C-alpha cells in the first residue's frame, strides 16, 4: 500500500479523533443541559451540504460517456448484496422499521471519495480513475435513493410516522410524499431535470454548490468522532463487526465473481471494481442512521472498525487480483 493511501487513512482517523475529542470535551454543546451535537451536525450535513452535492453531481453527469457495462458489472452484485441484507433483516424482525435499510447501506456503501479516489489513482493511474470517477458519480445516487424509498415504505407500513395510514393506498401516498420531499431524492430529481433541459449550471451557482458540497467529507468525519463519544460502542460490537465483514469481504467477493466470471472483466477494470467494493464503510451510513434515529452507535463503530481493518483486507484483495491476473 502506497504512502498516499496510508496518509489518507490517517487523515480519516485523525479527523474522526478530533471529532471524538470535541464530543468528549463538550465543545459543541449548547446550553446548560447540552445538546445532541451529533444530531445537529447530521442535520446540517443532510439538509444543507449533501443536497448541494447531489444536485451538482446529477446535473453535471454525462450519460453519453459513462462506461455502462463496467458500471453494471459493479452494481449488479452490489444491489444483490444490498437487497439480500435488507430482506434478511426484515425477516429477522427489526427493532425499528428503518433498521433493515440502515444495515443494508452499511454493508454496501463505501468510502469511495476520501479513500477510494487516492487508492485508484495510486494503484491504477488515469486508467483506473477513468472507471472509478464515473462509478462514484452515481454510487450515492443509486444506493441512497433506493434505500431511502425502502426505509420510507417500512416506516409507512409500520405506522412509524404521524399520519401513516394502515391501508395500502394511504401508505403509498404517505411514502411517496415523504420520499419525494426528502434531502436525498429531491435534489437528485431536480438535478436530473436540470440535466434533461441541457443547460449548463451558471458559474455562480456552480461555485456555490461546489463550496457547499466540499464540506460534506470533513463534516461527516468529525460527526463520526462526535457520535463515537456520544453513543459509544457498548452493545454494538457484534453488529459493527458483521457490517465490517460484509463490507470488506463479502461485497468485494461478490463483485469479483460477477464482474470476472459473469461480465468477463479482467485487468484494470476488474481490479478497480473489486477495490471499490472493498473500501471501508462510508460516512453516509452514519448520516442515514441519524436521519432515521436508528443504529447510530453501530454505524459509527462499523465505519471506524472497517477503516482500520481496511489496511489488511486491501492487501488481501490486491493479492487475489494479482493471482487472477494473466
Evaluate if residue 32 carries a pLDDT over 50: no
Q: CATH no. for residue 96?
A: 1.20.1530.20
Give the pLDDT score at 242.
93
Compute the radius of gyration of the chain from its Cα atoms. Answer: 19
What per-residue confidence (pLDDT) applies to 128? 83
Predicted local distance difference test score (pLDDT) of residue 101 = 94
Domain count, the chain: 1
Per-residue pLDDT for 170 more than 70? no
Residue 38 pLDDT exceeds 70: yes
3-state percent helix, strand, coil for the chain, nearest multiple of 5: 80, 0, 20
Assess whether pLDDT exceeds 50 at residue 64: yes
pLDDT level of residue 75 (50, 70, 90 thresholds) = very high
Confidence (pLDDT) at 30: 60
Residue 160 has pLDDT above 60, yes or no: no
43-60 pLDDT, tens digit each: 787 788 878 887 887 788
More confident residue, 232 or 79: 79
- At residue 249, the pLDDT reads 95
Q: What is the pLDDT of residue 109?
A: 92
- Residue 100, CA distances (Å) to 52, 83, 104, 270 in order: 27, 9, 6, 30
pLDDT above 70 for 206: yes
Cell 469481504 sits on residue: 249
Calpha distance 78→214 (Å, rounded): 26
> What mean pLDDT comes out for the span 56-70?
81
pLDDT at site 264:
92
If you write DSSP's letter for every residue of 77-132 in order, what string do you get? HHHHHHHHHHHHHHHH--SSTTHHHHHHHHHH-B-TTTTHHHHHHHHHHHHHHHHH
Say yes or no to pLDDT of 164 above 50: no
Query: What's the rounded Cα separation, in Å, for the pair 285 and 155?
Result: 18
Q: What is the mean pLDDT of residues 207-218?
A: 86
95 pLDDT higher than 70:
yes
Specify the range with the lowest mean pLDDT, choosing from 32-46, 137-151, 184-198, 306-320. 32-46
Q: What is the pLDDT of residue 177?
A: 63
- Mean pLDDT, the chain, rounded, equals 82
Bridge partners (DSSP) listed for residue 110: 281
Mean pLDDT comparison of 56-65, 118-127, 152-161, 241-250, highest-scoring range: 241-250
Per residue in 100-133, pLDDT tens?
999 999 999 998 877 787 788 778 888 888 888 7
pLDDT of 34 over the 50 cut: no
pTM: 0.77
The pLDDT of 294-309, averaged and rounded, is: 87
45 or 261, higher pLDDT: 261
Residue 277: predicted pLDDT: 95
| Domain enclosing residue 188, as ranges | 3-29+37-324
Span 173-192, pLDDT tens digits: 655 665 556 666 778 788 88
Amino acid at each position: 500500500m502506497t504512502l498516499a493511501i496510508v496518509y489518507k487513512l490517517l487523515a480519516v482517523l485523525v479527523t474522526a479523533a478530533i471529532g471524538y475529542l470535541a464530543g468528549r470535551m463538550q465543545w459543541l454543546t449548547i446550553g446548560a443541559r447540552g445538546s445532541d451535537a451529533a444530531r445537529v451536525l447530521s442535520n446540517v450535513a443532510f439538509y444543507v451540504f449533501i443536497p448541494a452535492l447531489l444536485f451538482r453531481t446529477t446535473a453535471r453527469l454525462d450519460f453519453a460517456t459513462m462506461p455502462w457495462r463496467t458500471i453494471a458489472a459493479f452494481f449488479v452484485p452490489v444491489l444483490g448484496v444490498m437487497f439480500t441484507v435488507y430482506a434478511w433483516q426484515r425477516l429477522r424482525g427489526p427493532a425499528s422499521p428503518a433498521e433493515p435499510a440502515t444495515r443494508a447501506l452499511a454493508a454496501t456503501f463505501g468510502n469511495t471519495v476520501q479513500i477510494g479516489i487516492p487508492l485508484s489513482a495510486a494503484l491504477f493511474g488515469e486508467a483506473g480513475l477513468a472507471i472509478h470517477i464515473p462509478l462514484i458519480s452515481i454510487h450515492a445516487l443509486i444506493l441512497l435513493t433506493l434505500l431511502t424509498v425502502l426505509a420510507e415504505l417500512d416506516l409507512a407500513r409500520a405506522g412509524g410516522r404521524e399520519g401513516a395510514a394502515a391501508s395500502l393506498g394511504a401508505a403509498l401516498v404517505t411514502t411517496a410524499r415523504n420520499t419525494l420531499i426528502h434531502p436525498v431524492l429531491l435534489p437528485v430529481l431536480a438535478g436530473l431535470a436540470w440535466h434533461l433541459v441541457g443547460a449548463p449550471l451558471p458559474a455562480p451557482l456552480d461555485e456555490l454548490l461546489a463550496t457547499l458540497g466540499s464540506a460534506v467529507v470533513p463534516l461527516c468525519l468529525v460527526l463520526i468522532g462526535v457520535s463515537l463519544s456520544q453513543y459509544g460502542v457498548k452493545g454494538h460490537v457484534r453488529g459493527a463487526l458483521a457490517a465490517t465483514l460484509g463490507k470488506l469481504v463479502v461485497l468485494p467477493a461478490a463483485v469479483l465473481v460477477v464482474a470476472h466470471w459473469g461480465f468477463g472483466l479482467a485487468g484494470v477494470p476488474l481490479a478497480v471494481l473489486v477495490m471499490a467494493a472493498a473500501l471501508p464503510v462510508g460516512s453516509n451510513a452514519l448520516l442515514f442512521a441519524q436521519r432515521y434515529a436508528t443504529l447510530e452507535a453501530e454505524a459509527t463503530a462499523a465505519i471506524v472498525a472497517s477503516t482500520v481493518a481496511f489496511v489488511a483486507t486491501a492487501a488481501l484483495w490486491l493479492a487475489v487480483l494479482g493471482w487472477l491476473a494473466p
